[in-house]
Amino acid sequence: MSERQNAKQSIVETASKLFVTQGYHATGLSQIIKESECPKGSVYYYFPKGKEELAIASIECTKQVVLAKWNDCFNKYDNPAEAIAMFIKELAVDVAKNGYEGYVPFSFWIAAETSSVSDKLREASQSVFAAWQNVISSRLHMTGIGQAKSNELGTVIVSLLEGALLLAITNRDTTPLLSASKCVPYLITKCPSL
Amino acid sequence: MSERQNAKQSIVETASKLFVTQGYHATGLSQIIKESECPKGSVYYYFPKGKEELAIASIECTKQVVLAKWNDCFNKYDNPAEAIAMFIKELAVDVAKNGYEGYVPFSFWIAAETSSVSDKLREASQSVFAAWQNVISSRLHMTGIGQAKSNELGTVIVSLLEGALLLAITNRDTTPLLSASKCVPYLITKCPSL
């Protein structure tokens, strides 16, 4: 990776960390510049529109990292229901290993700070959920489940995962994620009305 | 209600509104005092330990309001699976009616601002989830479902509801809540391994 790419990535990583731990509202550009140890000019060069543009880059980064994990998992298991259950189980292991910190979904600060967040940021978060739902839906559809049911299952599974993650972080306990993981195969095979 | 209770309640309601819209970190006592239109002294009188104590009171208030809604719903329908599905459907209607604002679960700012939030606040949030899970579990248990399965269903249903609410707020669309509502009866009757 070139030095340029390194600088840009370092800025995005620092910003993501600060947004997640302090919230969007409470994080200023000057702190991002200081903690990324990049020259002030490079922050304004890569992100001329400032904090909002940087937040959108952080959200996009999270989207790609998690999408890659989903694809890895689907490639590892023939049965997509098993792949989804394993994805959630592995998340539980990781979350506990990291002391229940740093796993706060980016969208929590979008949801938690509506008054200080723009429609652009909300739409960026929406596109992340849509991307995760799509990767799940398309794998389910490939096994012969109808498109409408596959889409709805994608939504339900992302909802369950995000909610279980929130409970796990709040309780400092992986039980909600493990219970969610156990449900997934039944949601896929036993919900005729979806 | 006495004038005293009114003042205390007005402080808690103002604080809740500000915490939810701005985040915990970004909300100061002085703003709470100003917007509640209560004398500065009464905030310090009712909440001598300051912002943290006020946040715990806000969380407790949310817990009781939502618990009362759960109990109303369970008393209205004989079948608890139907009651839970209706609770989520009614939430979807309310959220849309209120323009997807003001429905951010209190716990989002706990999760979103870990570095600025104490263990006491985290435990207060944990007790809210536990209370909601318990009201669901005990109603399911009363219909003959084993205690362990009832407990696990309580966790899964609260997870699904919280995650679907997050997606609905982000997408400004009730579909995730309506899909969650449709799954509930199948989760309860078709998940043998829970």
- Kindly report each contact of residues A140-146 with a partner whose C-beta sits within 8 Å and lies 24 or more positions away, as own/partner: A140/A80, A140/A188, A142/A80, A143/A79, A143/A80, A145/A188
pLDDT tens per residue across span A67-77: 999 999 999 99
pLDDT in tens, chain B (194 residues): 566 668 898 999 899 888 877 777 778 899 999 999 988 899 999 999 988 899 899 888 888 889 999 999 999 999 999 999 999 999 999 999 988 877 665 656 665 555 556 788 888 888 989 999 999 999 999 999 999 999 999 999 999 999 999 899 889 999 999 999 999 998 998 776 55
Is the separation of the CB atoms in A65 and A71 below 8 Å?
Answer: no
Chain-chain contact of B182 with A191 (C-beta, under 8 angstroms): yes
CB-nearest to B170 from A107, A116, A164 is A107
Q: What is the ipTM of this complex?
A: 0.89
List CB contacts (< 8 A) between A109 and chain B. Answer: 23, 112-113
**Hey, what CATH topology would domain A57-190 get?**
Tetracycline Repressor; domain 2 (1.10.357)
Contact: A126, B156; criterion CB under 8 Å? no
Mind listing the pLDDT tens digit for each residue in A150-166? 999 999 999 999 999 98
pLDDT beyond 60 at A5: yes
- Are A12 and A42 in contact by the 8 Å Cβ rule? The answer is no
Q: Please tell me the distance from the alpha carbon of residue A157 to that of residue A146, in angstroms, as a whole number.
A: 16
- pTM of this structure: 0.90
Q: How many CB atoms lie within 10 A of CB A156?
A: 28
Compute CA distances A47 → A41, A52, A58, A107, whole Å.
10, 9, 12, 21
Distance, CA of B132 to CA of A172 (rounded, Å): 17
pLDDT at B168: 92
Of A20-24, A167-171, B11-15, B119-123, which range is least confident?
Answer: A20-24
| Residues A112, B23: C-beta atoms closer than 8 Å | yes
Cβ contact, residue pair B167, A191, below 8 Å: no
| B-interface mutation test, from A27, A113, A182, most B Cβ less than 10 A away | A113
pLDDT at B19: 81
End-to-end Cα, chain B, rounded Å = 46
Which residues of chain A have a CB within 8 Å of the CB of B172? 122
Taking the CA of residue A161 and the nearest CA in chain B, the distance in Å comes to: 7
Average pLDDT over residues A20-25: 74
- Selected for mutation to probe chain B from A167, A174, A190, A193 (highest B CB count within 10 Å) is A167
In this prediction, residue A170 carries a pLDDT of 87
According to the model, what pLDDT value does residue B109 have?
Answer: 60
- How far apart, in whole angstroms, are the C-alpha atoms of residue A170 and residue B188? 24
